[in-house]
Homo-oligomer: A and B are copies of this chain.
Amino acid sequence: KACDVTDSFIFKEINTKLHLRSGFLIHVACVCAGHNASRDVVTLVKSILFHRRNPLHFHFITDTVANRILSSLFQSWMVPSVQVSFYDADELKSEVSWIPNKHYSGIYGLMKLTLTKALPAHLSKVIVLDTDITFATDVAELWGIFRKFTDKQVIGLVENQSDWYLGNLWKNHKPWPALGRGFNTGVILLYLDRLRKMGWEQMWRLTAERELMSMLSTSLADQDIFNAFIKQNPVLVHQLPCFWNVQLSDHTRSEQCYTEVSDLKVIHWNSPKKLRVKNKHVEFFRNLYLTFLEYDGNLLRRELFGCPSPASPQSSALEELDEDDQCYDFRRERLTIHRVHLYFLQYEDTPTEDGTDITLVAQLSMDRLQMLEAICKHWEGPISLALYMSDAEAQQFLRYAQASEVLKNRKNVGYHVVYKEGQFYPVNLVRNVALKNANTPYVFLTDVDFLPMYGLYDYLRRSVVQMDMSNTKKALVVPAFETLRYRLSFPKSKAELLSMLDMGTLYTFRYHVWPKGHAPTNYAKWRTATTPYKVEWEPDFEPYVVVKRDCPEYDQRFVGFGWNKVSHIMELDAQEYDLMVLPNAFMIHMPHAPSFDISKFRSSPSYRHCLNTLKDEFHQDLSRKYGSAALKYLTAQRNM
């Protein structure tokens, strides 16, 4: 069947016109390692999806980092008629690690040589792309060129658009051997079948070994070896028209290509300078690139014509919803699957070895970005942040983070982007993304508009030991305060905090508008407490707590604002967590303008009505899960 993306066995011959009809499956392979390449490759994928009319199968050769990022991204992206497979680059390392290489792509730059081995044996053809490629046309057009291969040809390539391999760039410049200008390996049509049959695996090795005797190392990674191989076996190459790989490195001759054709197909940002490269038409190319960089990836979820997607659990759940239900929009939002890009920026962290490490967990949108630097200054431990953003905002965030000295120097902050969709703020879904991607045994569940006291990270780690958290079920409460003033000199100690409280410079959190949320913390007792004390759950209690990472998730039915933390604390109580207030911990809420979403919904009676309906349903679910003990929540609710 034409739309079957799982059927990669049969290659269907196509004629020139066929690419305008949908149907046949196209295979694309990409080597991708690390955080930055995983971000870059998304722009390539968007540009392919934007123009495509066929089912696609992406094959990613990835390291652990890229695998984690891209597998969760595609799983949540759910693009119809797109299949994704991953292959472990680390397993392939031994195949190429013996080759000395000076190119900035490192060992991963060499892995394209191993594709006949890495990809499934039944895969007969594949388009191989670098991550710094942008498509300006339907990839099916490129795929169609396989048809033009003679029986002998096994590899399709575009000629190099620089003089590198001519060996005349500077005195004593001695490049690897190549046919004339050589070929660029940013875009490859790889006839895997034929390569396997002719013994490619042995052949490229022999070539590499021979040349390395005089060359000592490769300069341009796989490209040097491909070119040396081709110089020996020129009949194996099918030369592609130059517009299939317009190379924007410096000193490029690419202009001779596209001024003639004026119909660009593929752009290759193969300068280490990337977008900052100088080129007469760079504005034009940059605009094309920026188009996809900021493009709303949700729009690419459209189905192919003639390829209806099989019913998913999500689609049948959607159909079961009653459109006339007053709370239809709420229920629908809960079924929305948001695209998630984990570890959007560089991330490196190993939890401390003593088993006490704690991750600060929070979520935010663009309007709270200015809090990040301050939080980083107040908390030196690991942080897991989920950011609710559009594709364009994610790029804005990237520029901000790259320009910030504070954020640049912190590698133990995991930034996870949850892409915007729909009219509600799915706050608990976003919180869960941050929670699930914490990598330490404990988590500090907080909000982004709070600053922890200085030293909280160390104090909490000590408390984790003191309270025997690993063998008991406890939630450590960090008492919350607030300031209504911008220019706060942050208290350096509990004593200082208490005197500011007495002066009226600080208040207990939400003292004026919602004291119930934190009253059970028992601030009066806390003033004089020197040891942790237990407090009881009460309705509407929503303290900030430290718990084990395997705590219950937030209930995602609560979207927009209201009851999102309350329901979580209730579930901790239902699971019999002890709520222990820490005597020497505090955090302070910093003022900010009311958020958009809050003001949008607080005034709406139907919003409040639906929130009540959702609360009732949550109570029923609690009773089902935890039995009669959970009835107390319902009773408490009814007495209010």
Contacts and interface: CB of A to CB of B under 8 A. Distances in A.
Interface of A: 20-22, 53, 258-259, 262-263, 281, 283-284, 287, 290-291, 294-296, 299-303, 305-306, 367, 369-370, 390, 392, 400, 403, 484-487, 512-513, 591-594, 596, 599-600
Contacts of A392: 390, 392
Contact of A262 (B22, B301, B512): B22
B594 A593 contact: no
B262 A21 contact: yes
Contact of A591 (B258, B262, B367, B591): B591
A509 to B, nearest CB: 14
Contacts of A593: 367, 370, 486, 591-593
Contacts of A300: 287
A27 to B, nearest CB: 22
B262 A283 contact: no
A390 B392 CA distance: 10
A299 B303 contact: no
Given A262-B22, A290-B296, A594 B302 contact: no
Contacts of A290: 296, 299
A301 B284 CA distance: 9
Number of copies of this protein chain within its complex: 2
Contact of A302 (B20, B287, B484, B600): B287
Nearest to A483: B484
B305 A594 contact: no
Contacts of A367: 367, 593
A179 B599 CA distance: 55
Contacts of A262: 20-22, 53, 305-306
Contact of A403 (B283, B301, B403, B600): B600
A594 B370 contact: yes
Contacts of A295: 291
A504 to B, nearest CB: 10
B299 A296 contact: no
B487 A512 contact: yes
B259 A305 contact: yes
Contact of A287 (B53, B299, B486, B512): B299
Given A295-B291, A302-B283, A305-B258, A400 B485 contact: no
Given A284-B305, A484-B484, A591-B593, 12 more contacts: A259-B306, A281-B305, A283-B302, A290-B296, A290-B299, A291-B295, A291-B296, A370-B593, A403-B600, A485-B485, A486-B594, A592-B593
15 contacts: A22-B262, A259-B305, A259-B306, A287-B302, A291-B296, A367-B593, A370-B593, A390-B392, A400-B600, A484-B486, A484-B487, A486-B591, A591-B591, A591-B593, A592-B592
Contacts of A20: 262-263
Nearest to A264: B305
A281 B302 CA distance: 9
Contacts of A301: 287
B305 A299 contact: no
Nearest to A390: B392
A223 B586 CA distance: 71
A301 B290 CA distance: 13
Given A287-B302, A370-B593, A591-B593, A296 B294 contact: yes
A485 B487 contact: no
A144 to B, nearest CB: 16
Contacts of A258: 305
Contacts of A403: 600
A305 B367 CA distance: 40
B303 A284 contact: yes
